[in-house]
A = this chain, B = another copy of it.
Amino acid sequence: MFQLGKIDRGLDQTPARQIAAMFRRAITAGELAPNEQLPSEAQLIEHFGVARMTVRNALQELRNEGLVVAEHGKGTFVRPAPPVRRVASDRFARKHRTEGKAAFLAEADKVGYAPSVDRVRISRETAPSAVAERLHLPVDGEVVVRSRRYLANGRPVETAVSYIPASFAAGTKIEEPDSGPGGIYARLEDQGHTLARFTEEVGARMPTPDERRELEIGDGVPVLLVLRTAYDTQGVPVEVCDTVKVAPSYLLEYDFPAR
A90-B259, A257-B197 as given contacts; A250 in contact with B64, CB under 8 Å: no
Cβ–Cβ contact A224 & B197, under 8 A: no
A257 to B209, CA, bound (A): 35
Q: Is the CB of A196 within 8 A of B258?
A: yes
User: In the assembled complex, how far is the CB of residue A174 from the closest CB belonging to chain B, in whole angstroms?
Assistant: 18
- Tell me the bound Cα distance from A195 to B195 in angstroms: 28
**Does A203 sit within 8 A of B, measured CB to CB?**
yes
- With most chain B CB atoms within 10 A of its CB, the pick from A93, A203, A230 is A203
A178 to B92, CA, bound (A): 41
Are the CB atoms of A198 and B255 closer together than 8 Å? Answer: yes
Q: Are A199 and B251 in contact (CB under 8 A)?
A: no
Residue contact B222 to A222, C-beta cutoff 8 Å: yes
Smallest CB gap from A255: residue in B: B199
Whether B203 lies near A250 (C-beta < 8 A) is: yes
Question: Are B198 and A251 interface neighbours, CB within 8 A?
Answer: no
Report the minimum CB–CB distance from A94 to chain B (whole Å): 6
Q: Which chain B residues border A219 with CB–CB below 8 Å?
A: 64
Contact with B along A182-208 (1 / 0, CB 8 A): 000000000000011111111111101
Tell which of B195, B200, B251, B253 touches A258, judged by Cβ atoms closer than 8 Å: B195
Cross-chain contact B205 with A247 (CB below 8 angstroms): yes
Known: A198-B256, A220-B64, A254-B254. A205 touches B248 (CB 8 A): yes
A67 CA to B65 CA in the complex, in Å? 18
B-contacting residues of A (Cβ < 8 Å)?
A: 17, 53, 64-66, 86, 89-90, 92-94, 195-206, 208-209, 219-224, 230, 247-248, 250-259
